[in-house]
Structure 1
Amino acid sequence: MNKIVPSGLKMLLFGVCLFFGSVNCFAQNPTQKSDFWNKVRFGGGIGFNFSNGGFNGSIAPSAIYQFNDYIAAGIGANVNFFKFNNQKFWAYGPSAVVLGNPIPQIQLSAEFEQLRINSSIQTIGGTLERDFWSPALFIGAGYRTNFATVGIRYNLLYDNVDSIYLNAWTPFVRVYF
């Protein structure tokens, strides 16, 4: 009786190994290559904003994954410079974006960015410096042709005290190849 149990256990283990080994062999098809990198697009955007005595410019490289003809999502990095009268801000940080194309010519977007702000203000008494985090949540729309989109976006979290943007509306140019 003792010899039957170990032999039966050996057969069971052999059968389990054979089953998982054959499933693994069928799951891997060497002729079928991953389609992931064919759906990744690189690019990003540039932005600018002008007002009386002020300028805001940004560059934002990013990569998106094109799920289908209508939806893409990705991540990026942002670098912004803002100057208004005697104030200067540098901002940098990560972002995440979702792009939707209900028709090929129209692109809708939602983008969240978290920027680290390094600010300085020149005063009569010297320079005041301040460092802080500033989140932004943009919704936008633009006209898309081939690889470029030109549009406008609105910052839902706009704060006129702690935002690097001069106002909630920001024009943009976004390019992905």
Structure 2
Amino acid sequence: MKNYDQKKVFSLIAIFVFMLGFSQVSPQKSEFWKKVQFGGGLGLGFGNNATNISVAPNAIYNFNEKVALGLGLQYSYIRQKDFYTSHLYGGSIIGLVNPIREIQLSAELEELRVNTDFDNASFTSDDYWNTALFLGAGYRTNNATIGIRYNVLHKDDNNIYTTAFMPFVRIYF
């Protein structure tokens, strides 16, 4: 990934983290901030000459107990030694509906930029946008939801995800 692209990604993540920290400073929250929840994911994977590091902060605004809308950022670094290095970065918009307290339905539109550089000259480096539209359902308890989502735009021949079905865990504070 070019230095300019890395600076943009890390700047967006820094702004999001700053907003998260700033929203926690004031003892008297406005009505808007009382309805905002933060969450996200961190991922670390190491093994067999491979590294996978992911950061994905999210924020949602609860319109009421049943409906929420949010934004997310995502950055992943993936490296397979002596084969390739890949950077994925982008964002998402998520809508959540809780028809009953224990059930959460979701729709998430994700747009990721994929930059892959191969160490072997036999492969061509790749640089493209990947769009996913996930529809999901999960069991919710307090601030956590566990479930499964399906990428309705999944194509076996051109996608960063190996399958259209993906399990998920969401936690918002």
TM (normalized to structure 1)? 0.67
Q: Where do 5+ consecutive residues of structure 2 fail to align?
A: 1-28, 45-49
Contact kept, 8 Å, 1:81 with 1:89, in 2: the verdict is: yes
Counterpart-to-counterpart distance in 2, 1:138 and 1:56:
22
Q: 1:77 — aligned with what?
A: 73
> Aligned to 1:116, which of 109, 113, 116?
113
Which of 1 and 2 has higher RCO (CA within 8 Å, sep 6+)?
1
Whole-Å separation in 2 of the counterparts to 1:79 and 1:163: 17
Alpha-carbon separation, structure 2, partners of 1:142 and 1:151: 4
> Could you tell me which of 93, 96, 100 is aligned with 1:99?
96
Give ranges in structure 1 of 5+ residues lacking alignment.
Answer: 1-32, 49-53
**Contact kept in structure 2, 1:58 and 1:78, CA below 8 Å:** yes
Corresponding residue pairs, total: 139
Q: How many Å separate the matches in 2 of 1:47 and 1:91?
A: 13
Q: Which has the larger radius of gyration?
A: 1
CA distance in 2 between partners of 1:84 and 1:161 (Å) = 21
Distance 1:56-1:105 versus aligned 2 partners, 3 A rule: farther
Alignment of 1:17-28 (within 5 A): none
Q: Which residue of 1 aligns with 2:11?
A: none
Cα root mean square deviation, aligned: 2.8
1:126 positional shift: 4.7
Q: Deviations over 1:27-69 (max 9, x none)?
A: xxxxxx8411100111124689xxxxx9987542111000111
TM-score by length of 2: 0.69
